[in-house]
Structure 1
Amino acid sequence: MSHVSSNTERLALRDPLKLVVRRLLQFHLPVGPLTKPLFAGLYRLHVGVREALQWSLRFVWYEPLFRSQCHSIGDRFRMEQLPYIAGRGKISIGSDVYLSGKSSFAISKRHCSEPILSIGNHSFLGHNCAITVGRAVTIGNHCLIAGGVRISDFDGHPIDAVNRRNGETTPSASVLAVTIGNDVWIGHGAIILKGVHIGDRTIIGARSVVTKSVAPDTIVAGNPARVIKTLTGDS
């Protein structure tokens, strides 16, 4: 009987405690007509301090470190965060290029003595893009590459299951360069696979998987990507 009584007492104490915790979790500082200008000013201060710190990091740390890993970088280059670079190769970046957010470049010398990643003039690379280079990935001028795009000129692993199990690398014959023309727009999350050549002024739909080359002045989308529309001067 005493055991039942003690359990009842514990449950009775637990319910008020839960109520107190719930109310504490729901509590917030009031933001009304009198306090809103104060918090708005503090928000602007927060953003200003954050931007100043980010600029300082870019100027004295991120950009010098990144430049040390590149073969060449053109004028008026801009970047936000330090890209993650795995491996060594020849990275060439044109003028007026903007690297937004943080992306990654994985470069493998297993199949080529000097893999090349080239980004042309006036091109934009969005946040969280990943480019894998075994031979060559070339991005043209005036390209817009949205966040989350994946570009790779090889598969990463052999197709044969036994070879994968044995830890063998991708055959050199299946490492095929990727070329992206000028004025190409690649939508968010698209994947560009080995051997693909994308013609000038082409648009790749968001989350498309491009497995074959695409003609100039074309809109493609889907998995695998298919032609949606051919662009004309009136488009």
Structure 2
Amino acid sequence: MFLTPALKQKLRPWYLRARGLQMPPVAVIYRPLSWLLTSLKTVCSEMGRIMLWTPIFRSQIQGGDGVYLYSGVPQILGPVQVSLGKGCRVSGISTLCGRPGSTLNVGDNVDIGWQNTIACGTHVVLGDNVRLAPRVLLAGYPGHPLDPQARAAGEPERPEQARAIILERDVWLGTGSMVMAGVTIGAGTVVAAGSVVTRDLPPGVLAGGNPARVIRRLEERS
């Protein structure tokens, strides 16, 4: 049906009024419906996790006893070899990738959070009890060479650009933090949200900034 601009202008208030129509929120009706929909969503999610997500993920890795996946299946891209310890929790909205011959070794009781990307240049090691908050990036390789002509030709990074990343046990990386290739972070160190770690950090410190620097030592628990 063809509508002239003048007719559209006349009909617009009626359209806006109709767009705002809704049923009254009668609690005795809609609270049980809300509970029912939430329960169905939870049951379907858990069935998917048990029967699909976890077996699919574990078929692509080594180990992974007791792994808990949430929000689906993590992406595994490239020829990276992944080994997972016991009792880990991994977001399905995360990416594990790597170059030929690269490895990702994850210890026990490790959290890999929402929108994490772990790019393995040679090898990445996550020690026991490591915590990766949302949107963490471990950049073991850059994906492109430094030479502009090689980049324009679509060539991959040079082998010397790919290096290891090691997070020793009990390290905690805050939301949105990045760790660059060649970095080792000592046991128990905490990296503040949004930090960019470009060089090694000692154990037992709080670090932050871009580039990340030691802010203070953390007190040891007695």
Residue from 14, 18, 22 that aligns with 2:12: 18
Q: Distance in 2 between matches of 1:84 and 1:233?
A: 37
Counterpart for residue 118 of structure 1: 105
Is 1:44 aligned to residue 38 of structure 2? no
| 1:170-198 Cα shifts (integer Å, max 9, x gaps) | 22122110000111111111111100101
Is 1:163 aligned to residue 169 of structure 2? no
Which deviates further from its counterpart, 172-181 or 156-165?
156-165
TM-score normalised by the chain length of structure 1: 0.87
Counterpart for residue 5 of structure 1: none
- Deviation of 1:10 after TM superposition, in Å, equals 6.0
Larger Rg: 1
Is 1:99 aligned to residue 90 of structure 2? yes
- Deviation of 1:233 after TM superposition, in Å, equals 2.5
Counterpart for residue 123 of structure 2: 136
Residue from 141, 145, 148 that aligns with 1:154: 141
Counterpart for residue 23 of structure 2: 29
Q: Distance in 2 between matches of 1:234 and 1:65?
A: 40
- Deviation of 1:100 after TM superposition, in Å, equals 2.7
- Could you tell me whether the CA contact under 8 Å between 2:77 and 2:97 is conserved in 1? yes
Q: Distance in 1 between matches of 2:180 and 2:93?
A: 21
- Could you tell me whether the CA contact under 8 Å between 1:135 and 1:177 is conserved in 2? yes
Indicate the percent of aligned positions where both proteins have the same amino acid: 28
1:10–1:187 CA distance, 2 compared to 1 (3 A)? closer
- Could you tell me whether the CA contact under 8 Å between 1:104 and 1:128 is conserved in 2? yes
- Deviation of 1:62 after TM superposition, in Å, equals 1.1
Q: Which runs of 5+ in 1 are unaligned?
A: 1-8
Is 1:202 aligned to residue 192 of structure 2? no
Q: Distance in 2 between matches of 1:154 and 1:14?
A: 55
- Could you tell me whether the CA contact under 8 Å between 1:137 and 1:152 is conserved in 2? no
Q: Distance in 2 between matches of 1:25 and 1:223?
A: 48
TM-score normalised by the chain length of structure 2: 0.91
**Could you tell me which amino acid in structure 1 is paired with residue 78 of structure 2?**
G
> Secondary structure of 1:189's partner?
coil
**Could you tell me which amino acid in structure 1 is paired with residue 52 of structure 2?**
W
Is 1:78 aligned to residue 65 of structure 2? no
- Could you tell me whether the CA contact under 8 Å between 2:73 and 2:91 is conserved in 1? no
Counterpart for residue 200 of structure 2: 213
Give the CA RMSD over aligned residues: 1.8
Is 1:55 aligned to residue 46 of structure 2? yes
**Could you tell me which amino acid in structure 2 is paired with residue 118 of structure 1?**
N
Q: Distance in 2 between matches of 1:87 and 1:193?
A: 19
- Deviation of 1:88 after TM superposition, in Å, equals 2.3
- Deviation of 1:232 after TM superposition, in Å, equals 2.1
Q: Distance in 2 between matches of 1:71 and 1:96?
A: 14
Q: Which runs of 5+ in 2 are unaligned?
A: none
Q: Which runs of 4+ in 1 moved over 6 A?
A: none
Q: Distance in 2 between matches of 1:220 and 1:28?
A: 51
> Secondary structure of 1:52's partner?
helix
- Deviation of 1:104 after TM superposition, in Å, equals 0.8
- Equivalenced residue count is 218
